[in-house]
Structure 1
Amino acid sequence: MAERSGPWPKRSLIGTLTEQEREELLKLGTKVEFPHKAALVRQGDPDNGALYILLDGYTKVTVDTADGNQTVLAIRSRGDLVGEFALLDGGPRTATVTAINTVVAIRIGRSAVNAYLADHPDAHAKVTASLLAKMRTSTERRVEARAWGARERIARLLCELVEQYGEPGDDGVVIALPLSQFELGGLAGAGEATTERVLNEFRHAGMIRTSWRRITVLDAAKLRGLWRGY
């Protein structure tokens, strides 16, 4: 697979590093490739002393709950770190990270990461900020699950996905993520049947168009209005 080139997403950890910080970090590891549905890390496994920097492709972060269900927590893509929690604290993996198409990544071992962070205090601060942002997002999701209905949560999620992964289409913005309705609902904290009902409502209202694992947002302003209350 030919990996993507061009600017790194500004929202990603790698996108926040300076060119020198980025080059020095990336050359510490080994390039690896994961096919669709392969797990980069698995929940509960002991730390194997490595993290991954995604160069291309998408992954989903999931956790298995006590009742045997699976919840989708986040999507990670180009420029994001995967597996840094266990690497930094030495504990078991807290989630499973699975490729949702072919993923190319750089695998870096713990000793190399620790040495790099010790030598680059500014980059260390950016890694810390990235971890805190992930924790903040997780907290916000839990608050929204209690305060908002599924309709509002799914509308906000679609707007976020447009901002992060949207690509111009003929008559709207295509969310370039191969997500199922179950996975989309998991990100919004909604069940699959509820997600299907809400998406159907949005389709009839002319806000989105859907096909297999593909959503085109036709009217982002209307979607924003649903969760912003106007």
Structure 2
Amino acid sequence: MTDHQERKILLGNSRLFRNFDDDIIEAVCSLLTPCSFESGNLICLKEDSSDCLYIIREGEVEVSISSSEGKVILLGLLSRGDVFGEVGLLDKGTRTATVSTKSKVSLYRLESQDFDKITPLFGVKEWMALTAYICFLFRGVVNNLEEAVFLDAGIRIASKIRNLYETSPDTKDSNSFSLNISQENLGRMAGLSREATNKALSELEQKCLIERKYKRINIPDLQKFLTLFEPG
């Protein structure tokens, strides 16, 4: 597979670009530049100027925000095909979150000025796709707010596990699944203390809904686990 073909596949599978016409995808492909970061590196800070967006080629990154007191909430884990840094390119504002590498990552970078060059080529299809993407981001914010306000710790943790399962690029052919995430990071995603996270996971484990391994959480029976979210 050539580098150009890989770029087209990544863009075609990404939520941001997948509904764009082929000629726009080709234009974006020609403007991407490769870059890489080692594990544990900072890629961008919240409130930094938004000079580019990134598409993940290989590896995994953490997206987080922090308070002035130093409390950190993990918003999500992104992997191959995911895009970050796009909000600042769309509204010309600053970064909305901090992104750091969880492993060594290989990325493609699209500069802000290059993105501006292709927007005049957008037709109704592309603007509708961008509108749908912004709605997707907004729904995610609302869902996270609802979880934080209305759900107890156990369901909040279970909901984050479900979200990670649904967004994972790994195969979902079987009725079991394994997530590569530590208890600490899962708690940060749910905005819970270490004690509350451990208690919630212990309760799920006692119900045989999950199994805890070192920095992994296994779901032995997906159908049983997903019954947690059925009405009533």
**Normalization by structure 2: what TM-score?**
0.83
The percent of aligned pairs where both chains have the same amino acid is 25
Q: Which residue of 2 aligns with 1:71?
A: 73
Distance 1:66 1:117 in 2: 37
Q: CA deviation at 1:229?
A: 4.3
1:117-166 Cα shifts (integer Å, max 9, x gaps): 22123334323322331122011111121111111122222222222215
Q: Measure how far apart 1:169 and its partner are.
A: 9.3
Residue in structure 2 matched with residue 113 of structure 1 by the alignment:
115
CA distance in 1, matches of 2:94, 2:84: 14
Superposed displacement of residue 10, structure 1: 5.1
> What SS is found at the alignment partner of 1:33?
strand
Of 129, 133, 137, the residue aligned with 2:132 is 129
Q: Which runs of 5+ in 1 are unaligned?
A: none
- Change in Cα spacing, 1:217 to 1:109, as seen in structure 2 (3 Å) is same
**Displacement of 1:30 after TM fit?**
0.6
User: What letter is aligned with 1:162?
Assistant: Y
The correspondence for 2:105, drawn from 103, 118, 121, is 103
Residues 210, 217 of structure 2: 8 Å contact kept = yes
Which TM-score applies when normalising by structure 1?
0.84
Say if 1:76 and 1:117 are closer, same or farther in 2 by CA, change over 3 A.
Answer: farther
1:126-205 alignment runs, 5 A limit: 126-165=129-168, 166-167=170-171, 172-175=176-179, 178-205=180-207
Structure 2: which amino acid aligns with 1:173? F
Deviations 1:51-85 (A, max 9, x none): 11222222221111132211111222222221122
Q: Quick one: distance in 1 between partners of 2:218 and 2:9?
A: 24
- The question of whether the paired residues in 2 share the 8 Å contact of 1:15 and 1:79 is answered with no
Runs of 4+ in 1 over 3 A off after TM superposition: 5-11, 14-21, 166-171
Q: Are the equivalent residues in 2 in contact too, given 1:159–1:220 (CA < 8 A)?
A: no
Per-residue displacement from partner, 1:89-122 (whole Å, max 9, x unpaired)? 3332221011212222111111210121221233
**What SS class does the counterpart of residue 27 from structure 1 fall into?**
helix
Q: Distance in 1 between matches of 2:14 and 2:113?
A: 26
Equivalent in 83, 107, 132 of residue 81 of structure 1: 83
Q: Distance in 2 between matches of 1:194 and 1:46?
A: 36
2:36 is paired with a residue whose SS is strand
SS in 1 for 2:53: strand
Q: CA deviation at 1:217?
A: 0.8
